[in-house]
């Protein structure tokens, strides 16, 4: 069975550790070197990797890393028990909420950017969760 790891580039490993441990109550697991750290406490391990702004992303794209607000079609959704508390915690850690907190058939959702320009969502599911989106309600 495939596994899942989440790797997040950050320009400063210590700022990355501070944000992700405070915002999401994660803990530092293994520290592989000064630029590569494992965070634990989510369903999948999260790895912070320090890569400077302006460094190339890959050999084919020719694009470079940047840490102002950027968009990517892949982003983490963090499922929380209490959305209001999670919003306060994320903002206190340095996240920027983008737009209003919204109600949806499956619960409530708020969208953010972390201090490094990466988007993420906080979701508080109701009892039905995503089953509420199915024609028969799951």
Tell whether 58 is covered by a domain: no
Domain count for the chain, please give it.
2
Q: Which residues pair with 39 in a beta bridge?
A: 28, 46
Tell whether 116 is covered by a domain: yes
d(CA 80, CA 87): 10
Tell whether 97 is covered by a domain: yes
Task: Look up the CATH number of the domain holding residue 21.
Answer: 3.10.180.10
Q: Are residues 134 and 74 in the same domain?
A: yes
Strand pairing class (46-50; 6-10): parallel
Q: Are residues 41 and 75 in the same domain?
A: no
Look at residue 37 in the predicted model and tell me its pLDDT. 98
Closest CA to 107 of 128, 88, 86: 128
Look at residue 136 in the predicted model and tell me its pLDDT. 85
User: What are the start-end ranges of the E strands in 11-133?
Assistant: 27-33, 36-40, 46-50, 77-79, 96-97, 102-104, 107-113, 119-125
Q: Are residues 93 and 46 in the same domain?
A: no
Structural domain that includes position 47: 1-53
Look at residue 138 in the predicted model and tell me its pLDDT. 65
Q: Are residues 27 and 81 in the same domain?
A: no
Tell whether 122 is covered by a domain: yes
Tell whether 64 is covered by a domain: no
Q: Are residues 47 and 111 in the same domain?
A: no
- In tens digits, what is the pLDDT along the chain, a chain of 138 residues? 788 999 999 999 999 999 999 999 999 999 999 999 999 999 999 999 999 999 988 777 778 889 999 888 889 999 999 999 999 999 999 999 999 999 999 999 999 999 999 999 999 999 999 999 999 866
Tell whether 61 is covered by a domain: no
d(CA 101, CA 91): 13
Q: Are residues 16 and 49 in the same domain?
A: yes
d(CA 128, CA 18): 34
Q: Are residues 74 and 134 in the same domain?
A: yes
């Amino acid at each position: 069975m495939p596994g899942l790891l989440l790797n997040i580039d950050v320009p400063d490993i210590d700022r990355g550790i501070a944000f992700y441990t405070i915002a999401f109550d994660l803990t530092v697991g293994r520290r592989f070197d000064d630029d590569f750290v494992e965070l634990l406490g989510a369903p999948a391990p999260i790895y912070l990797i320090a890569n400077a702004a302006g460094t190339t992303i890959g050999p084919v794209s020719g694009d470079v890393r940047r840490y102002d607000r950027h968009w990517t079609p892949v982003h983490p959704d963090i499922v929380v028990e209490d959305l209001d508390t999670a919003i306060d915690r994320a903002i206190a850690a340095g996240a920027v909420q983008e737009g209003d907190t919204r109600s949806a058939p499956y619960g409530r959702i708020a969208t953010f950017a972390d201090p490094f320009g990466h988007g993420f969502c906080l979701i508080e599911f109701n009892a039905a969760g995503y089953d509420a989106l199915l024609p028969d309600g799951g």
